[in-house]
Amino acid sequence: MKNRIKVFVVIVLSLVLNDTYSQGNIVNIGGSGSPINTIRTGAPILSINTNPQAMGMGYIGVVASELNTQNGFDQNPALLSCEEDVFGAQLLNYSPHARNSAVASRLFESGIYASIGKHSFSVSSRYMLLPESFITDIFGNVSSSFTPSEFFVSGSYAYKFSKNFSIGASLKYLHSDFTGGNIIQGNATMPANVIAGDIGLSYRKTLKETENFKLKWNLGLSVLNIGSKVRYIESAEGDFLPQTLKLGSLFTLLWKKENNNYFAIDFAYQADKLLVPTPPIYAFCATPQSSDQRFYDLS
């Protein structure tokens, strides 16, 4: 258990408190080995998708069948728009995340949504609680402990411009506390409070329809987590939010059965692109004959 806690503290502190990462890695050209140039983002709660249908389809959620309105909570707010008036809610959903790792967490979420005519609305929230962590000195003596957590609440609106096309947007408030207000590495820390937004488009069309068969197509596009950086130290540069572009396509085949029931098969593809700049890699070069030292951007 102690090893698990130590590993967790190292991972969390290296992610949220290293304010020099944006300067890139210093690499000796004459040395051996390749530089590690990891793209880091803050607020991991924004990247976790717990929608059961999306999880069952390889986390595809920017497109969805018309009955899976809850996908609009996570990956594309335009999906909240429906062809008919509906109301739904998830009162409480609990999901253990990465429970066999050093950063095992517990997620709680809830939400309600409604579609009335061309207008659709939703309000959702998510809370993530991580294991208790400890701050130690160089000798391993515990100086303090805290329980990292993150929380966000989101409000979404979608409008159906036509029978096939809809657009949606979300506004989020995020509260992230990964340091417990402790003084770490000589720096006073604080919780991060961030405002972020999502935008999404959805195009749905019935390609073929007979008495017993339907073929439907859904094209979706969204940009998620547009907002400012996450800062746990006032003077630090901070971490980018996981701003992501998502583009997907879905074909749904439906065969009519008895009592107006349908048997359906979905074929879907989704591409995600993280819209965060890659930190540059700098090379340090000095010649033995000269004291001239220069840095070169290799990225």
Report which DSSP code applies to 239: B
Contacts of 199 (CB under 8 A, 6+ apart): 77, 167, 168, 169, 170, 222, 223, 226
Q: Which pLDDT belongs to residue 210?
A: 87
Q: Which pLDDT belongs to residue 288?
A: 52
Greater pLDDT, 116 or 139: 116
pLDDT band per the 50, 70, 90 thresholds, residue 247 = very high
pLDDT digits (tens, 9 = 90+) for 16-62: 334 333 333 333 333 445 556 778 888 888 888 777 777 777 788 89
Measure the CA–CA gap between 254 and 265, rounded to whole angstroms: 7
Q: Which pLDDT belongs to residue 285?
A: 56
Q: Which pLDDT belongs to residue 102?
A: 61
With a cut of 90, say whether residue 97 has pLDDT above it: no
Written as one string, the DSSP assignment of 127-157 is EEE---EEEE-TT--EEEEE--EEEEEEEEE
> What are the structure tokens assigned to 194, written together?
């961030």
Q: What Rg value do the Cα atoms of the chain yield, rounded?
A: 23
Q: Which pLDDT belongs to residue 58?
A: 78
Measure the CA–CA gap between 88 and 86, rounded to whole angstroms: 7
With a cut of 50, say whether residue 216 has pLDDT above it: yes
Q: Which pLDDT belongs to residue 69?
A: 74
Greater pLDDT, 91 or 124: 124
pLDDT band per the 50, 70, 90 thresholds, residue 284 = low
With a cut of 70, say whether residue 202 has pLDDT above it: yes
Greater pLDDT, 24 or 239: 239
Computed over every residue of the chain, the mean pLDDT equals 78
Q: Which amino acid is at 278?
A: T
pLDDT digits (tens, 9 = 90+) for 143-200: 777 888 899 999 999 999 998 999 999 999 999 988 877 776 677 788 889 999 999 9
With a cut of 80, say whether residue 223 has pLDDT above it: yes
Strand, helix or coil for residue 86: strand
Q: Which pLDDT belongs to residue 293?
A: 52
Separation of CA 164 from chain center: 28
With a cut of 90, say whether residue 76 has pLDDT above it: yes
Measure the CA–CA gap between 294 and 284, rounded to whole angstroms: 6
Q: Is the dihedral of CA 58, 85, 201, 45 positive or negative?
A: negative
Q: Which pLDDT belongs to residue 4?
A: 38
Greater pLDDT, 173 or 82: 173
Most confident of 115-129, 169-183, 225-239, 256-270: 115-129
* Beta-sheet strand order (sheet of 293-297): 25-28, 281-286, 293-297
Indicate the helix (H) or strand (E) that contains 286.
Answer: strand 281-286
In the chain, count H helices and then E strands: 2, 16
pLDDT band per the 50, 70, 90 thresholds, residue 8 = very low
Q: Which pLDDT belongs to residue 122?
A: 93
